[in-house]
Structures are given as structure tokens and as C-alpha cells.
Amino acid sequence: LLILMMFRHGLRVSEAIALRRDDADLAQSRLWVTRLKNGLSVEHPIEGDELRALRRWLAARDDVLPWLFVSERRQPLTRQAVNYIVGTVAKRAGLGPVHPHMLRHSCGFALANRGYDLRLIQDYLGHRDPRHTAHYTRTAASRFDGLW
């Protein structure tokens, strides 16, 4: 769930570990993403598979801690824990070295490859400056489709 949400919402590690239960409105299928680094906070939709995973995760918990993701010690996950989780999963999948910020970049590239507008991707990732978003669209070959 952590990896899915980091990818799907383009979360930085600090944003993911700061998520609280009340940021996820399961009734409305919405997630409030508080962006860091002076980014623009925004509400994202929660897709069906993610919503089901969130419900299973919360139903399996026997605590009332406010954080969405907690460690075995009932504390919010640390940056190091997220690095370890992502690295371990990547290794099990037979991938090379993977770090959590790659999930954020993958989100941007995936949206660009689907043909979404630069401005929409900028807002979705919380970028204030479009230059931070532009590099995602440069590699999207589909942007040239239909020019001629």
C-alpha cells in the first residue's frame, strides 16, 4: 500500500510518512496530500484498488494512532524504514537499486506517457514552477502523435 500510494500520488518520502488517517476520506474516495518543499497541497482521488487496500490495511490495525503508516513499534515510519522497504521490494522483484523518490518520478513519467497536459501534471505533483514538471514530458514520444 505504501509503495502504491507513493507511486500513484507522486509522494515524497516525507509526505508519505506524514500522512494521517484523517487525510484519507474513504467515504468520498479522496486523499488530502500535504505537499512539502513549498509545494501546492491538493486533494487526489483514490482509485478502487487503492481504496480496497486502504480499507484492508486500516481494518487490520488494532490501534487508534493518527498516522496512516506505522512501524511495528507503533511509531510513524521513518525515512530510513521507507528506504529499506522500497529497496527490499525492488531486490525481491529483481530490479537494480531503487530509491523511494524514483516512485515520484515514475508517477510524473507515467502521467506524461498517458498524454496528460503539463499543467495538470504540475498541479498533481504540487510543483509551483512548471520547469520542475517539464522534464517528464520531454521523453513522452506520444506527445508527437498526430502532429502530421
For 65-117, the DSSP string reads: -SBSSB-TTSSBPPHHHHHHHHHHHHHHTT-----THHHHHHHHHHHHHTT--
Q: What is the rounded CA–CA span in Å between residue 86 and residue 92? A: 10
- Is 124 among the catalytic positions? no
- Is 79 among the catalytic positions? no
Q: Check 8, 9, 35, 127 and give the catalytic one.
A: 127
- Is 116 among the catalytic positions? no
Q: Check 37, 56, 61, 74 and give the catalytic one.
A: 37
- Is 104 among the catalytic positions? yes
- Is 99 among the catalytic positions? no
Q: Check 9, 35, 124, 136 and give the catalytic one.
A: 136
CA-closest candidate to residue 106, choices 123, 119, 125, 87? 125
Residue 51 contacts residue 2 (beta carbons within 8 Å): no
Q: Check 9, 12, 35, 124 and give the catalytic one.
A: 12
- Is 52 among the catalytic positions? no
Residue 143 contacts residue 137 (beta carbons within 8 Å): yes
Q: Check 101, 105, 132, 143 and give the catalytic one.
A: 101
Q: Check 104, 119, 135, 143 and give the catalytic one.
A: 104
The amino acid present at 96, given as its one-letter code, is: G
Active-site amino acid positions = 12, 37, 101, 104, 127, 136
